[in-house]
Every structure is written in structure tokens, then in C-alpha cells.
Amino acid sequence: MLYGNVELHNTDEIKDSPNGGVLLQRVPDSVRLHLNEGAQQRLLDPAGGEIRFVSDSGSAKVTLSGADGEVKVVPFFGGFRHGEPFTVGREPQTVEIAMTERFQKDLPALEKLEMPFSPRVCRLMLRGAQVCFRGVEGDGVRPPAAAELPALRYLAYGTSITHGAAAAWPHLAYVSQVARRLGADLLNFGVGGACHCEPEFADYFASRDDWHVATLALSVNMMGFTHEEFRKRVTYMVNTVAGSNTKRPVACITIWSYFGDREIDPDAHDTHGKADDFRQILREVVAECPHPNAHLLEGREMLSDYTGLTTDLIHPADDGMIQMGENIARRLLPLVAQMPRS
């Protein structure tokens, strides 16, 4: 979304804040308010969304705040991380982002290299509470041009793991790692604790024409559902998203390795067998999908090192996220290479 002199990436609706500025959210209320309550709230979080701009001078002042909590910000210029990540709270904070002298001096040489993002593009990657954006000031500040951004877009749907829950910073989440390895722009629709495969979400993904490859991680958040309801929902999700454009690969990921594979957890409505049952259901749904662009990835193969998890034994830490990103990208690259080129 373009807003004034910036691009608000992975934002599909904004609302005026009563305290000034605009509030960013990943999907419009026409979709969000039809989802479960957890997803409605999570979709207000940025989940690695970005504020992007280019400035003539290589520097600008950005004013942000968190609507109801803290927001972590990781600055990049193109694919290069810049300086130290920082955190903003509920009070508006203005931060100057300026290229280093060395980076600015080498810009002409860097621009000759083939990179998905132009090194001129300032990218403020966001995670945490809903973001209140209050503006960017600087010489010649403008939104990035299409040629300065990746041509390929990757859409990801899933649980808190897709959301990036235990990664130290948003660029270390597995979906960010996949995007980096594909040379793609990420559209992250992770909804921590609330990935319930609603048909409204499936219809929304299908209606968007701005992505080229997708992963659907389906879904440890549904362990409280019956087998019949799980099958019904994932069937609609897979068939609808894949059927929206059969030139776009859609990779469906079975439940990752987690504690439920090793113990009985009544609070999670889980037994040793239910997670495996759901994995098998997803295998069958993908095999029966009438569209050739639906593919299956085994979650436990994408994260094969159990020590890649944190001690909650469900959320991957940075090492696990990186392994997942590498393995998923390795599987997606041949599918992307086979896509027709316009």
C-alpha cells in the first residue's frame, strides 16, 4: 500500500489513530472481522511488515509508536541490515535513519549487482504491537519504484511459527529466511495461536493477484477441531488457494515437530496419534486436489533437528528457523523456476 511518501508493505488497510497518525493492519476489516477472535487481534500485529522509502540524501527521520505496546524495528537498506534494531513504545518516537558513509560511497557499485532489493530502499521491518505510523521527513523522500523491489512475491499462512514468535528479530523468522533465499518479497499472514483455516481467509488469499508462490502451514492450532472439521477446512483452503491461479505453486506444510509427538497433553486436546492423523489428512487433501500446483511439504523434514526448538518444545529458535527457511526454499526453488514468465 502506498501512503504519502512511503510504501506500507504487508498492510492492506489503515485507520486514523485518535492520537494522530494512522494504524496499520495486515488485512481489511471486511475479512478480519469474519475470523476467530485470536486471528482478528493477531492481524493487527505487523509480523515483519515494513515501512519503505527512498531518500535523495540517504537519510530521513521516521516517527512511529506502538498503539498498545512495544514495536521492534530492524532497519535495512535493500538486503543489507543497517545499524542496531531498536524498540519504540506507546509514546511517539522520531528516529533518524542514515546510510553510513561507506555504504553511500559504494552505492553506484552496489546498484550494478543483481539484487532483489535496490540498496537505496530503506526498509524498516516491524514486529510487536500494532504500529501507529506518523510520517517520514527528509530530502526527496518517495516510495520505492517497482524496479527497486523484488519481482517475485511469496505469501505465507500459518501459526505463531509463521508469525515469527520465537525468532529474535523478524528477519530471522523462517518465512523471512525463505523469502531471502527465493529473492522474493514476503507477505506474512501468520496468526499466532489462531490458524483455523477459515474460508474467508482462503477466499482472501485467492482474490489477491499480487503473489506468485505460497506456503500454507496447516496447522497445530487446530488440534481442538474434529478430524472431519479439519479435513473440511483444509480441503477448502487448499483447493481454493491453488485453484485461484494454477500457475502459482502452493506448498502445503504438515504439522512441524513438536511436544505433541512425544507426550499426551490434554490441555492441547492432543494425543500421540492426532497430530499424525492431521498430517495424513493434509497429505490426502493435497493428493486429491484437482489442481496440479498444490504440493506437499513434510513439516518434520523441514525442521529435522529437534534441538532447533526452544524449551517450550513447539516454537523454533533462530537456528531452527534458519534450517526451516533453507529447507523450504530448497523445495520451492524448482517450483518457482518452472513458473511461466510473462
Provide the residue ranges of all domains of the chain, joining segments of one domain with +.
2-148, 152-337
Measured distance CA(215)–CA(242) in Å, rounded: 11
pLDDT score recorded for residue 272: 60
Judge whether 197 and 204 are in contact, CB under 8 Å. Answer: no
Measured distance CA(152)–CA(212) in Å, rounded: 6
pLDDT score recorded for residue 292: 97
Measured distance CA(133)–CA(201) in Å, rounded: 26
Measured distance CA(128)–CA(151) in Å, rounded: 27
Measured distance CA(252)–CA(238) in Å, rounded: 8
Class of the domain covering 2-148: mainly beta
pLDDT score recorded for residue 308: 95
pLDDT score recorded for residue 264: 53
Measured distance CA(197)–CA(204) in Å, rounded: 11
Query: Please, which residues have CB within 8 angstroms of residue 114's CB and are 6 or more apart in sequence?
Result: none
Please state which of the four CATH numbers 3.20.20.70, 3.40.50.1110, 3.40.50.720, 3.30.70.580 is assigned to the domain occupying 152-337: 3.40.50.1110
Measured distance CA(76)–CA(79) in Å, rounded: 6
| Grid cell 505465507 in the structure block, residue | 156
Measured distance CA(87)–CA(127) in Å, rounded: 9
Query: Please, which residues have CB within 8 angstroms of residue 117's CB and are 6 or more apart in sequence?
Result: 76, 78, 79, 123, 148, 149, 150
Measured distance CA(2)–CA(311) in Å, rounded: 41
pLDDT score recorded for residue 1: 95
CA angle 191, 181, 176 (to 5 degrees): 25
Judge whether 244 and 205 are in contact, CB under 8 Å. Answer: yes
Q: What is the mean pLDDT of each run of 10 residues along the chain (342 residues)?
A: 97 95 97 98 96 96 96 97 95 96 96 95 97 96 97 98 95 98 98 97 98 97 97 98 98 94 58 87 98 97 94 96 98 91 58
pLDDT score recorded for residue 261: 84
pLDDT score recorded for residue 266: 52
Instruction: Tell me the one-letter amino acid at 168.
Output: A
Quote the DSSP letter at residue 45: S
Quote the DSSP letter at residue 323: H
